[in-house]
Amino acid sequence: MQFDFKHINVVSIGNEFFDHLNHSRVSDKSLKLNRLRKVYTRHVTNTHLTFRNKLSTILRDFPLLDDIHPLYTDLLRFVFDKDRYSFSLGQVNTAKDLIASIANDYANLLAFGGSLKECKALKASAVAGMFSVVNEITPGLAYLEQLRQHMAKLPLVDPDAPTILVSGYPHADKTRFVDGIVDFSAKSVAFVVGFSGYEGSMRCQVIDGVLDKPVFGDCDVVVDSLALHLGDAIVLFFLDVSGTCGYSVADQVVFFHSVKAVFVDRPLLIVCDESDLMQVSEEDWRLIEEMGGGVGEEEVGFKISDLRSEEGVISVKNVACERLLYQSGRLSCISLEEARVMRNKYIVAHQELDDDEHEVSDLFLDPDVLSRLEELEHEEGVKQSEEEQEEDDDDDDDFVIAEERFTEEHKDQLVAIRKIQPLRILIAFGFCILVGNTYGALQQ
């Protein structure tokens, strides 16, 4: 498959084919007829080689239609016409053969030129004929150049590579995470792509700048393309509970569900900075807990980490990479319910140990904190049954997220989200029928 289009050279059009022609003037009187025949034949041959090289470069640089991944045909959907693309390349190939034929015919005629005037006329006719062929395919060349300019702007995305999709409203924690794990290798107006290694066993692709805003109604072209054509991928949703991003928790929950409605078959991981936990009200926590329900059966993980430290950033990356390595396994992170218990324990510990904040932080970041919490809950007889009571709720309640906290605008947005997936299924089904009918017609 062809992924990198930046190597494609500029397509020459019209008079640009003559840029490299260098026909020295011939002193007609100083040369004998036999010598003049060879000079003019060399002019025709050089013209043919110049035209052939430019046309061959086009055929070499532009990939065959079957070698372009569907991800890129979707990204180029507004300028990419498969039929016109194939037709234009076919014109270039035909023109190359015609020019070779013209050059060969006139070279044979020049070998038997009877006079100086006749040789000059044959050379002029040969060059004019070759240029006429190129001029005929100018519309196709212009289309290929327009397409090349759009292709050059596309970042280098490998649809088959394990991918981390970074989402959430722009804020410091998200930027700090992205900058801390990868050096970006490709940039475009739409988004940026980079790669990050994981324990020497996997090179993970990181994409940022795509999911920086909610997706309602008709999906963005880039979002649609990535959702349909990426292989193994996980979506990291960075939740800013402090509100410094300029949006409330309720707004971010709506954002999260809009992403979840598009990436229905992808695992999702909610990432939150630990230092912001103390600022979360109980009402906001009810909203956050509801983020685990909704469309699809994929598990939604919740990762609390110190995103202001290098260790915390790497911890989040490792969790995401482990999930990509073991798609069939459980998320290597805590659940939303476990996060709620941790937060309550954290608050109690903070109240009892005001003079030793460092110790509290160490307890919170202990990798064995889950096993310790389980031992405490066993000793105290604490049983969490809230999730079991909610399992029997109707499917229509998937997006009921603390309604008293949402405005009418939030409710309208969630209704729009619920309509996205059935519409996408109908569009995909209709497209399959269209492709099948077209293929049947071509076979006939």
Tell me: pLDDT of 137 over 70.
yes
Percent above pLDDT 90 for the chain: 23
The ranges assigned to domains in the chain are 14-152, 164-364+398-428
**In this structure, which topology does domain 14-152 adopt according to CATH?**
Four Helix Bundle (Hemerythrin (Met), subunit A) (1.20.120)
| Enclosing H/E stretch for 164 | strand 163-167
pLDDT at position 41, please? 92
Residue range 328-365, pLDDT digits in tens: 544 445 555 566 666 666 555 555 545 444 443 333 33
pLDDT at position 114, please? 79
Per the CB < 8 A criterion, the answer to whether 276 and 308 are in contact is no
Mean model confidence pLDDT for the chain: 75
pLDDT at position 373, please? 43
Two structure tokens written together for 110:
């020049």
Per the CB < 8 A criterion, the answer to whether 425 and 443 are in contact is no
End-to-end CA distance of the chain: 29
Two structure tokens written together for 272:
């939150």
pLDDT greater at residue 284 or residue 419: 284
What type of residue is 369? V
Per the CB < 8 A criterion, the answer to whether 102 and 94 are in contact is no
Q: In this structure, what DSSP letter does residue 101 have?
A: H
Q: In b/e form, how buried is each residue of 121-139, taking b as 16+ CB within 10 angstroms?
A: ebbeebbebbbebbeebee
Cα–Cα–Cα angle for 150, 7, 152, rounded to 5 degrees:
15
Spatial separation of the C-alpha atoms in residues 338 and 164, rounded to whole Å? 24
Average pLDDT score over residue span 54-66: 93
Maximum Cα interatomic distance, the chain, rounded to a whole number of Å: 113
pTM of this prediction exceeds 0.85: no
Tell me: pLDDT of 184 over 90.
no
Two structure tokens written together for 436:
């099948």
**Phi then psi for 233, rounded to 5 degrees?**
-150, 150
**Phi then psi for 269, rounded to 5 degrees?**
-130, 120
Q: In this structure, what DSSP letter does residue 274 have?
A: G
Average pLDDT score over residue span 255-269: 87
Give 164-364+398-428's CATH code, choosing from 3.30.70.260, 3.40.50.300, 3.80.10.10, 3.40.50.720: 3.40.50.300
Q: Predicted confidence band at 203 (pLDDT cuts at 50, 70, 90)?
A: confident
